[in-house]
Amino acid sequence: MRRWIILACLVVIAAVLMLMTRQSKEPHAVSVERKHVVLVGASIGRLWRLEEWPARTGETSFTLESVAAWQFDKSAALDEVLMRPKRKFHPTRTYLRSLFQPPPKRPGAVILKECSSYFPGDVDGYMTSISEWVHRLREARIRPILATVAPVTQARSKRDAGKQTALLAFNRRLRAYAEQEGIPLLDLEAVLRDEGGGSFLRDEFTSGDGSHLNATAYAHLDRELRTLLCEFYTCKGKGENTTCLKQQ
């Protein structure tokens, strides 16, 4: 009986390997008109529903996707994005089902987004990691985009001593690094903060816990992201009817 189980496992593994090989050899259509953008982050990426962003904004020149990474270190998630259209093997049913779907899109740009949950923390170490990820993306000819950390409300800051101060210090370092390296910056803090002292998350933007965002906040971020992406493209039209076309 044990021999038959081992044989069955070997047959399944062989079938999976054959399918992976066939997919890697198949030519994949490359869209000239649509640029694929991947956000590597945690809750803000999942709750933003970026796959619906083109429909919400009318910017059909783009496709967007969020890849979840529930810790500051985004290395593993970045590994999988960089190996596209190949897939990294995972011994799960979800992975096996994915083999019968189109291969994952290789992005033209990757947004690196961190969360307030990781603060206070080692800002120097954080910046070293950011620079390493940027280097890897550039080597792969994928445009890196950096995102500042969304601030927390004043009430949340009082409960979590040092969090707001540390993330604002990180954001300052990130802005300086982005400017120095000529990297596009999605400045979430600038969009979401109260302009009063402390740069706290505006109360009308929180889902209730002083950290996570609500639908109103995401609507503002939709517009900010469109503005940023259109900096890389020749934009046709005005206001809500703007269409971004790839620069020649």
User: Model pTM greater than 0.85?
Assistant: no
| Structure token digits, residue 100 | 């019968």
CB 216 within 8 A of CB 204: yes
**What residues contact 53, with CB distance under 8 A and at least 6 apart?**
59, 62, 64, 222, 225
Return the amino acid letter for 93.
Answer: R
Model pLDDT, residue 146: 98
Model pLDDT, residue 196: 80
Model pLDDT, residue 92: 73
CATH of domain 33-235: 3.40.50.1110
Domain ranges of the chain: 33-235
Q: What is the DSSP letter of 35?
A: E
DSSP string across 125-141: HHHHHHHHHHHHHHHTT
pLDDT tens, the chain, 248 aa long: 556 555 445 445 555 455 555 544 444 444 345 899 999 998 777 789 999 999 999 988 899 999 999 999 999 999 999 999 998 877 777 666 667 778 899 999 999 999 999 999 999 999 999 999 999 999 999 999 999 999 999 999 999 999 999 999 999 999 999 999 999 999 999 999 998 888 999 999 999 999 999 999 999 999 999 999 988 765 544 444 444 544 33
CB atoms within 10 A of CB 213: 20
